[in-house]
Amino acid sequence: MKQATEIREFERYFEDIMKQYNIPGFAMGLAEDGELCYEKKSGLRDSEDKLPLSSDTVFGVGSITKAVTAVAILQLQENGKLNVNDPVINYLPEFKTHNKVQSQKITIHHFLTHSSGIPPLPTLMGAVKESMESDPDFKIDPQQGNPLDAIQTINSHSDLMDAIATAKFTLLGEPGTEFSYSNDGYALLGAIIERVSGMSYEQYVQENIFTPAGMHHSVFQYEDLKEYEDIAVLYDTRKNGDEEIVFRSNHPWGAPAMRAAGFIKSTVNDMLKFMEVIRNEGKVGSARILSTESVKVMTTPYMQCSHDTYYGYGVMIIPDFFGYKLIHHGGDIKGVTAQMGILPELGLTGISLANLAEAPSSKLLFSAFAGYVGKPSDASHLDVEMVDIPHESLKEFEGTFMANDGMTSTFYLENDELYVTIPGFATKILKPIGEDQFLGSMRDQDTTIRFRRNKDKTIHRVEVAFRQLLKVEETT
């Protein structure tokens, strides 16, 4: 933020949000042309032992890892080891779905852009299953039993491909035609990186991205930090009546098969260095990580994934964020909520990191960016108009939608308004904005939801949280 007025206004907003969400530890950093220009910290990295935060405190970054994986793939393309338009089976011949013809059409590009046609699957839960079951905070209802018993354990890329091959699902469409966020695709990009580089995914990233970029506190496993102590403790929440309790739950999830999809641990300072790859056309300081052309390829808006947002390779692109292009990605996993963003036309990068799942890291970073361009901190960049829809027409949107990974959304009418209930989020009123689309909010961030119709013009899917969910048919 350029002016003291904008800084004060943002910091008032920041404090209100922090109190509302009861976040134990939060760190944010903004950089102009690669130089740190603003820091904001709140809380502690360890609330019980009263240990402070710094810009070198290690947090998980979740799915921001996907941007790192995309950089690795593009490096290998530059070196002639692969081509993003090649079929996946060229590198992973054992990869298949129940639809052999469509499976053979899926390319590396489709994995990078979440457009393979594979719907959400319960594979991430299978990958973290063993670490969840070893967590002292994992409780099993004696009457209900262990909910993970029905999920296949996934400890390797081979296990993952077996799970995909045997899963029963309908492909969303021909490869390249439908967007639905897929951790599976990015996990298998990690397998491709291993096949063509001859080293583990983690070693490849360490040697070709972290080390040359000077990211000295970025790792895939906390054990790799050795004697380093500036690490954020993980916290979680649970319900106690109407009250939500934040509690220490410092048992991170591990998932060897899914590391390329969301398991990097990093810091404000290290992530600001990584974002220089995108802002500075492939260079971090004097080190060239990617070619200028590869950065353009990475930040091309290939697939529309919401009303205002497109997906490139490992990054999302908002073409009009208060008049500027915003390149960004978020990350969520146990004890982690992260958001990175780049405004290349302004030379601005930013990262926000929290040690609590479901914290509003995206809203806080976007609010800081809004203040930087002279907008109110609570302003929305979404330029949409509300429309009126008659009650009878609104009834068409009622119903429950579910994905194979268990994510559900239930839509219902009350007092002529459409509501949505999504586990993990507060129930929200949705405002119609036309063309089967509605405006809502998640963690104080405006978001859009779009219903999809089949050939009979009947609603059969919904796009929510960047995923496509299928309507659950009612039984009588």
pLDDT tens-digit map of 91-131: 999 999 999 999 999 999 999 999 999 999 999 999 999 99
Tabulate helix, strand, coil % of the chain (nearest 5).
Answer: 30, 30, 40
Q: What is the bridge-based pairing of β-strands 417-421 and 428-434?
A: antiparallel
The one-letter amino acid at 321: F
Give the separation between CA 313 and CA 113, rounded to whole angstroms.
6
Rounded to 5 degrees, φ, ψ at 411 are -110, 135
CA distance linking residue 346 with residue 348, whole number of Å? 5
For the chain, which domains are there? 1-378 (3.40.710.10), 391-471 (2.40.128.50)
Q: State both tokens at 314.
A: 């490992």
Instruction: Record the pTM.
Output: 0.96
Structure tokens at 412: 């219902």
Strand partners, 134: none
Query: Structure tokens of 207?
Result: 């040697």
Contacts of 151 by beta carbon, 8 Å cutoff, 6+ apart: 122, 125, 126, 129
| CB-based contacts of 100, cutoff 8 Å, min separation 6 | none
User: Exposed, middle or buried by CB within 10 Å (0-12, 13-18, 19+), for 415?
Assistant: exposed
Give the pLDDT of residue 181.
Answer: 96
pLDDT reading at 476 higher than 50:
no
> What's the average model confidence in pLDDT over 391-416?
92
Distance CA 358, CA 175 (A): 31
Q: Around Cβ 434, how many Cβ atoms within 10 Å?
A: 11
Q: 328-377, pLDDT tens digit by residue?
A: 999 999 999 999 999 999 999 999 999 999 899 999 999 999 999 999 99
Residue 21 has pLDDT above 50, yes or no: yes
Name the percent of the chain lying above pLDDT 90: 83
Q: Name the CA radius of gyration of the chain, rounded.
A: 22
Say how far apart CA 210 and CA 408 lie, in whole Å: 37
pLDDT tier, 242 (very low <50, low <70, confident <90, very high otherwise): confident
Distance of CA 177 to the CA centre of its chain: 21
User: pLDDT (tens digit, 9 = 90+) per residue, 256-312?
Assistant: 999 999 999 999 999 999 999 999 999 999 999 999 999 999 999 999 999 999 999
Q: Residue 472 gets which letter from DSSP?
A: P
So what's the pLDDT on residue 474?
62
CB distance 326 to 313 below 8 Å: no
Query: Considering only 189-193, 320-324, 439-443, which range has the smallest mean pLDDT?
Result: 439-443
φ/ψ (deg, to 5) at 396: -60, -25
Q: Quick check: 134 pLDDT over 70? A: yes
Position 138 confidence tier, pLDDT thresholds 50, 70, 90: confident
Residue 475's pLDDT band, with cuts at 50, 70 and 90, is: very low
